[in-house]
């Protein structure tokens, strides 16, 4: 779906493009970075830059610090961010818990949390999954028992991305065993500095520490940290998952990745003794580009979905499945091209950075290797591909 821009949208596009060129000039070492190759400080820095400009949370309501942008403006912003090889905002605050607090949180919770999410000073993590409760999330067993003005939380979360950075965690907890499992779940905000919380690292195949186990032992949480109503957490959890899935599809990352693949191929052609065949590269790159264009069409459909049509809720499912498979196939092409060179490019130190006199590919290639390895997980987190397809077949195709 091509976006035909109206004159005022072209003006807006120029404003956005100029801003990206000012904060991320050519050669800036944050270009092309992603959440898993950025440091905590870099992620906070990028959020603060966007916030200063008033673009920290474009999808939030205006009164909570968002924008009044139209759908075409949001699409232009995303396209320009991708064009500028913009680094990533942390999704946990901006895309996940922030919109939940905006929609369902008390005025006190909004005043307490939204400003520090917007300016990037506080980091969040997501406490949904537990051992034995991933796809079957509603079976979760971490309990929160009411005791006076507090809840007392006991249990364990797992695969908690960047919990070791986070000052706060949003958790699904069990507050009742009555009725269906979904009916006894609540959505609780917990300060990671509370006594009784222990964070243990899990190392992934890229050699880095992104993931954790989080243990809760008699953790006292003020009851005022409950979002919305007790036992209504499943509703808020599903609202959040729709936003999460659309984000994981990663169209911006895919556009950057397709460009990076070309850079690496050009470099190898010039330098490597045995370069990856040009015609094979062109064929595979073209096939990936066609799939990326199809994904963009879905993204635009979701963005421009008519209110009440249900498309905005349904489309993130195929977007997540298609986008993550595409990311993995792009990684495979990078690896096939790099061959032995990938070990030269692979820097086991987390978050490699470019120096000024290095050509672009050198900063991109180690990141590509990290990303390629980490992306094995992208068809798992945020709901596995099998589960997405199951939901599509049941609720969309009626099978």
In three-state secondary structure terms, 70 is: coil
| Touching ligand FAD, residues 293-322 (CB under 6 A) | none
- The pair of structure tokens assigned to 147 is 């005791």
- Does position 384 interact with ligand FAD (CB under 6 A)? The reply is yes
Stretch that binds ligand FAD, among 120-128, 178-186, 218-226, 293-301 (CB under 6 A): 120-128
To the nearest whole angstrom, how small is the minimum distance from the Cβ of residue 109 to ligand FAD? Answer: 20
Residue number of the CB closest to ligand FAD reads: 134
Rg of the chain over Cα atoms, rounded to whole angstroms, equals 21
| 60 vs 374 by CB, closer to ligand FAD | 374
To the nearest whole angstrom, how small is the minimum distance from the Cβ of residue 390 to ligand FAD? Answer: 5
To the nearest whole angstrom, how small is the minimum distance from the Cβ of residue 281 to ligand FAD? Answer: 29
**Total binding residues toward ligand FAD, as defined by CB under 6 A:** 19
- Does position 122 interact with ligand FAD (CB under 6 A)? The reply is no
DSSP string, 304-333: TPPTTSSHHHHTHHHHHHHHHHHHHHHHHH
- Does position 381 interact with ligand FAD (CB under 6 A)? The reply is yes
| 243 vs 360 by CB, closer to ligand FAD | 243
| Interatomic CA distance for residues 334 and 347, integer angstroms | 16
Question: Among 107, 95, 125, which Cα is nearest to 189's?
Answer: 125
| Touching ligand FAD, residues 358-377 (CB under 6 A) | 377
- Does position 160 interact with ligand FAD (CB under 6 A)? The reply is yes
| Interatomic CA distance for residues 268 and 345, integer angstroms | 12
Stretch that binds ligand FAD, among 27-35, 53-61, 81-89, 384-392 (CB under 6 A): 384-392
- Does position 65 interact with ligand FAD (CB under 6 A)? The reply is no
Catalytic-labelled residue, pool 130, 244, 296, 341: 244
Annotated catalytic, 244? yes
The phi, psi pair for 359, rounded to 5°, reads -65, 165
Within a 10 A sphere around the Cβ of 180, how many other Cβ atoms?
A: 9
- Does position 56 interact with ligand FAD (CB under 6 A)? The reply is no
| Interatomic CA distance for residues 352 and 355, integer angstroms | 10
Of residues 20, 159, 267, 276, which one binds ligand FAD by CB under 6 A? 159
| Touching ligand FAD, residues 70-89 (CB under 6 A) | none
| 66 vs 383 by CB, closer to ligand FAD | 383
- Does position 239 interact with ligand FAD (CB under 6 A)? The reply is no
To the nearest whole angstrom, how small is the minimum distance from the Cβ of residue 364 to ligand FAD? Answer: 22
- 312: exposed, middle or buried (C-beta count within 10 Å: 0-12, 13-18, 19+)? middle
Of residues 126, 142, 175, 327, which one binds ligand FAD by CB under 6 A? 126
How far is CA 259 from its chain centroid? 20
Extract the runs of DSSP E, i.e. beta strands, from the chain: 124-127, 143-147, 150-158, 168-174, 185-191, 197-203, 209-222, 226-227
Of residues 3, 199, 380, 392, which one binds ligand FAD by CB under 6 A? 380
Q: Where would I find the H helices in 213-359?
A: 233-249, 251-271, 278-303, 311-314, 316-338, 341-345
Tell me the sheet residues that pair with 186: 173
Looking up tokens 């509703």 gives: 235
- 353: exposed, middle or buried (C-beta count within 10 Å: 0-12, 13-18, 19+)? middle
Residues that bind ligand FAD (CB under 6 A): 125-129, 134-135, 159-161, 211, 377, 380-381, 383-384, 386-387, 390
Q: Which residues are catalytic?
A: 244
């Amino acid at each position: 779906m091509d976006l035909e821009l109206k004159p005022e949208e072209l003006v807006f596009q120029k404003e956005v493009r100029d801003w990206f060129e000012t904060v991320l000039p050519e050669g800036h070492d944050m270009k092309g970075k992603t959440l898993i190759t950025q440091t905590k400080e870099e992620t906070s820095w990028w959020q603060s830059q966007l916030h200063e400009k008033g673009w920290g949370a474009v999808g939030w309501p205006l009164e909570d610090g968002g924008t009044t942008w139209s759908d075409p403006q949001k699409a232009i912003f995303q396209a320009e961010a991708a064009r500028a090889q913009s680094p990533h905002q942390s999704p946990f605050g901006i895309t996940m818990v922030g919109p939940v607090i905006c929609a369902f949180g008390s005025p006190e919770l909004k005043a307490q949390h939204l400003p520090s999410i917007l300016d990037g000073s506080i980091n969040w993590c997501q406490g949904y999954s537990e051992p034995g409760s991933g796809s079957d999330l509603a079976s979760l067993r971490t309990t929160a028992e009411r005791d006076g003005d507090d809840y007392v939380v006991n249990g364990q979360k797992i695969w908690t991305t960047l919990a070791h950075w986070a000052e706060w965690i949003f958790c699904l907890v069990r507050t009742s065993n009555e009725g269906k499992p979904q009916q006894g779940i609540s959505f609780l905000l917990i300060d990671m500095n509370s006594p009784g919380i222990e964070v243990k690292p899990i190392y992934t195949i890229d050699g880095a520490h992104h993931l954790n186990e989080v243990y809760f032992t008699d953790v006292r949480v003020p009851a005022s940290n409950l979002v919305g109503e007790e036992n209504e957490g499943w509703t808020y959890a599903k609202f959040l998952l729709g936003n999460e899935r659309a984000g994981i599809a990663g169209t911006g990352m895919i556009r950057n990745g397709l460009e990076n693949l070309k850079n690496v191929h050009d470099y190898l052609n010039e330098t490597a003794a045995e370069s990856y065949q040009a015609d094979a590269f062109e064929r595979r790159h073209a096939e990936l580009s066609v799939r990326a264009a199809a994904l963009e069409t879905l993204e635009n459909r979701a963005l421009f979905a008519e209110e009440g049509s249900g498309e905005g809720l349904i489309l993130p499912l195929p977007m997540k499945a298609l986008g993550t498979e595409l990311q993995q196939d792009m990684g495979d092409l990078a690896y096939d091209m790099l061959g032995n060179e990938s070990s030269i490019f692979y820097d086991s130190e987390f978050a490699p950075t470019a120096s000024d006199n290095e050509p672009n590919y050198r900063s991109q290639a180690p990141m590509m290797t990290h990303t390629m390895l980490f992306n094995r997980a992208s068809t798992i987190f945020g709901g596995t591909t099998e589960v997405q397809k199951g939901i599509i077949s049941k609720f969309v195709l009626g099978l």
